[in-house]
Amino acid sequence: MKKFLILLIFWKFTFPQLSYETGLARDFDSGYVGGFMCKLGFSKTATIPFSNIFQNIPQVFFTHEYFDNDRPNLEFRLSITTITKTSFTTQISCNYDRVVVLRLRWFAIDDQRIEVISNFNMDNPDDKTFSIKNPNAQTGFVILTSMHYTGAIDFLLSISQITTNSVTVSITKVAGKFTNLKQIGYFVVVGIQEAFINLGLKTVTGAFSSGPLTIQPNRWFAIATQGFNYPNTQNMRVRATYTNLPTTISYTWGSWYESDTPNSHSQIWIAYQFTTTFKPLECFTIRTSRKQAFDLSILPTFYLELVQSNQIYTTNGIYDYSVDKSINKPKMNIQIKCENGKKIKADFNKCNACSIQKTYSFTYNCFNQMNYVGFYPIFQQEFPQYNHLKINIQASSLEITNIVYDQTITEKTIVKIQILNQ
């Protein structure tokens, strides 16, 4: 056992765990894998290994760098079925005419400042809204993954709205062509402001050359396909060919035969390392009060008010609330019944980095003349950000947890109040 632990420690320090990685998957490329004939119900599963192990199961998404699809009626359904710390598994199935090549550039990242939402193989395409976890994920992009067409198509996927808890993807509906689009799949990738540099949507109607693009440090470059204006008179053919230089990258995006398939794509620089870090709210000042309430029966056990937003909670339950980033110093008004024979113990997060004296702590014994206790904390943060709060009110306790989406998701109790027996 001792020998095993020594080997485990040696492995950890000799082979550090991954936090991000990218690669090229050619498992669905007939020019690379002999015998790939994806049509008429054919299916294939491929497992793509990472170069090492991730500490946590990463988020994975991919872009297409090569389409070669037959006409006039083609469907491929493509999805990621499993993600582990060491690999991810993709599956393709093809109906009707042949998919010749799908070449995938994949990205894996273990960081909660980016969130990947998968909407694989959506029949009857339409606008759709998805829940997001991180209220600070206020920017993003869409990547096409699969489709089924039975004739000419003309569509564009785009993010039409992002809020603190949802993102909406819209699809254009061109009369006479939208009915030919039977199925579509895509990723929605959202993140904090630092996460993406979007160079804009490129609408390509012929041979396209990007020109030199300055390489951005600690970022991946991705071509995010968002739509096609495909006449269905010849095969769908688009391929990325890169030129990499020490300080720039460029690519041509077009056909190697016949004419280019008109399409729309975005050029995205995606951060895999960040300088922006998020931390829980800190209470930098607090005022307290004690008074006599003549009729406790008409008062709630706990009264919580988020002052600047006029949000009030008085009943038992668990609530989620995002404090707007415009509120730089959130204020709270907390009042508690303090019945005779009870005592109140309260803690407020004072310092995230301190080794000692991390909280403001109070203990009050209750008696008839001082039976209502108030706390009026003011919190602060390093920079404007949305703060996701989980509020838990029970019969004898009030707890407010700040959920923070940084490299990992952490939950920090910033307010904890208990009603105890003396």
Domain assignment present for 7: no
- 372 within 8 A of 419, measured Cβ to Cβ: no
What residue type is assigned to position 10 of the chain?
Answer: F
Residue at which a domain ends, from 249, 271, 293: 271
Residues across the chain: 422
User: Token match 């440090």: residue?
Assistant: 217
Check residue 225 and give its pLDDT: 97
pLDDT value of position 356: 86
Is 105 among the domain residues? Answer: yes
pLDDT value for 360 = 95
CA-to-CA distance for 258 and 97, rounded, in angstroms?
19
pLDDT, mean of residues 132-152: 96
Residue 276 lies in a domain: no
The mean-pLDDT minimum among 13-27, 101-115, 139-153, 310-324 falls in 13-27
Whether 12 maps to a domain, the answer reads no
| pLDDT for the residue 8 | 43
CA-angle at 22, arms to 54 and 221, nearest 5° = 135
Q: Could you tell me if 243 and 339 lie in one domain? A: no
Select from 271, 297, 317 the last residue of a domain.
271
Whole-number pLDDT of residue 2: 53
In a domain, 356, yes or no: yes
Q: Do 402 and 328 belong to one domain? A: yes
Residues 250 and 289 occupy one common structural domain: no
- In this structure, the answer to whether residues 370 and 341 fall within a common structural domain is yes
What's residue 9's pLDDT? 46
Mean pLDDT over each residue of the chain, to the nearest integer: 93
How far apart are alpha carbons 196 and 114 in whole angstroms?
Answer: 9
Q: Are residues 301 and 253 in the same domain?
A: no
Domain boundary among 271, 293, 311: 271
Q: Name the band, by pLDDT with cuts 50, 70 and 90, for residue 11.
A: very low
Structure tokens at 350: 């004072």
Q: What percent of the chain has pLDDT over 70?
A: 96
> Which residue range is the domain that position 381 belongs to?
282-421
Q: How does DSSP classify residue 113? A: T
Q: Is 220 a member of any domain? A: yes
Average pLDDT rounded to a whole number, residues 325-347: 95
In this structure, the answer to whether residues 138 and 84 fall within a common structural domain is: yes
pLDDT in the model for residue 32: 86
| Residue 245, domain member (yes or no) | yes
Examine the domain organization and report whether 203 and 288 are in the same domain: no
pLDDT exceeds cutoff 70 at 206: yes
**170 in the same domain as 37:** yes
Given a cut of 60, is residue 12 above it in pLDDT? Answer: no
Identify whether residues 70 and 183 lie together within a single domain.
yes
pLDDT tens column, 33-63: 877 889 999 999 999 999 999 999 999 999 9
Residue 11 belongs to some domain of the structure: no
Split at pLDDT 50, 70, 90, the class of 10 is very low
Residue of 152, 153, 170 whose CA lies nearest to 161: 170
Contact 220, 234 (CB under 8 A): no
Residues 211 and 317 in one domain: no
Whether the per-residue pLDDT at 230 is higher than 70: the answer is yes
Residues 374 and 255 occupy one common structural domain: no
How many C-alpha atoms does 46 have within 13 Å on its Cβ side? 19
Looking at the structure, do residues 256 and 324 belong to the same domain, yes or no? no
Going by pLDDT thresholds of 50, 70 and 90, the confidence category of residue 148 is: very high
Q: What is the pTM of this model?
A: 0.90
Once rounded to an integer, what is the mean pLDDT over residues 8-28? 77
What CATH number is attached to the domain comprising 251?
2.60.40.2080
What pLDDT does 355 receive?
A: 84
The Cα–Cα gap between 126 and 107 comes to 27
How far apart, in whole angstroms, are the C-alpha atoms of residue 144 and residue 140?
Answer: 14
Q: What is the pLDDT of residue 7?
A: 43
Three-point CA angle 158, 117, 56, nearest 5°: 145
Give the confidence band of 270 by pLDDT, cuts at 50, 70, 90.
very high
Q: Structurally, how many domains does the chain consist of?
A: 2
Rounded Cα distance, 345 and 336, in Å: 11
Query: Which has the higher per-residue pLDDT, 397 or 31?
Result: 397
